[in-house]
Amino acid sequence: MLEKKPLITDLYSADPSAKVFGGKLYIYPSHDRDIEMESNDNGDQYDMNDYHVYEMTDMSAPPADKGVALALDGVPWAGKQLWAPDCAEKNGSYYLYFPARDKSGIFRLGVAVAKTPWGPFTAEKEPIKGSFSIDPCVFTDDDGVSYLAWGGIWGGQLQNWTTGTYNPNGSEPTGSGPALFPKIAKLSGDMLQFAEQPRDVVIRDEAGVPLAADDHDRRYFEGPWLHKYNGTYYFSYSTGDTHRLVYGTSKSPYGPYEWRGVILTPVLGWTTHHSIVEYKGQWYLFYHDCELSGGINHKRNVKFCKLEYRADGSIVTINP
């Protein structure tokens, strides 16, 4: 059985976005390099410079490495750090969304296009207009409209954009006031730009109050994922420094989302980043930990396991 075992063992991989195209499951992870760097809250140790795509048709067999889909030197505007990506399909073309620091060190979101799910992808010459921060997740609704959700604090720089422009001295809010929330925007018909001004994805507690900045067990940190189950939208994410994957539900992709619970308890390693996908009638959670490296935070490995829903739509908490 491959469940809860490292899926990719010949290199380090993390942040898996799993998508189904043409009846096959494809995994879009980031590629941790086997380098020695001291960890810091800015994330300098996550110095990735390319993406591999993996094809999986049998959940009991390792995925096939389809090779390098996009490399840093193929992104004209990027300076470094190709972090967690995601992919979508429309009209026979595939769109890879990814973050990278631009030449001035500010994280932006880019998009690259290919004719196959594994690429190679050709990056647009400029990042998406008005984009910032990290961790893009693309969700296409039943009506064919696609949305991009994103954002990460600390090294992901979301806290630097609270005024609408970049402030290098911006900081995460503290106390009982509202936490920072991720962003969401509808994508244009060509999938290359925002079709509207980004808005907050508000996550509320049981009383309908936006989650507080000091509620570290529940507040948003990074790694958004948006999926739909039985007509309900599920927004899941990492709590970051409390190492949990959690989620809320809504009747609109924009939210607000009502807090529902924990998907995955802490794994070995500092970060947690995931995706949720249905394949051949079974729902799966893809995530990562640091088993292969014995706990080195920037040397991670992708894993997966089955994900189950209760009758009321809540997700059964998984212990890794």
Contact by Cβ (8 Å): 222, 237: yes
Contact by Cβ (8 Å): 263, 274: yes
**308 classed as catalytic:** no
**143 classed as catalytic:** no
| CA 115 from centre of chain | 23
Report strand pairing: 275-279 vs 137-140: unpaired
Helix, strand, or coil (residue 155): helix
User: d(Cα 202, Cα 184) in Å, to the nearest integer?
Assistant: 10
Partner residues linked to 304 by β-bridges: 286
How many other C-beta atoms are found inside a 10 Å radius of the C-beta of residue 88?
A: 22
Task: Choose the catalytic residue: 32, 89, 135, 222.
Answer: 222
Task: Choose the catalytic residue: 3, 15, 124, 190.
Answer: 15
User: 104: which 2 tokens?
Assistant: 């001035």
Partner residues linked to 71 by β-bridges: 50
Which residues does the annotation mark as catalytic? 15, 222
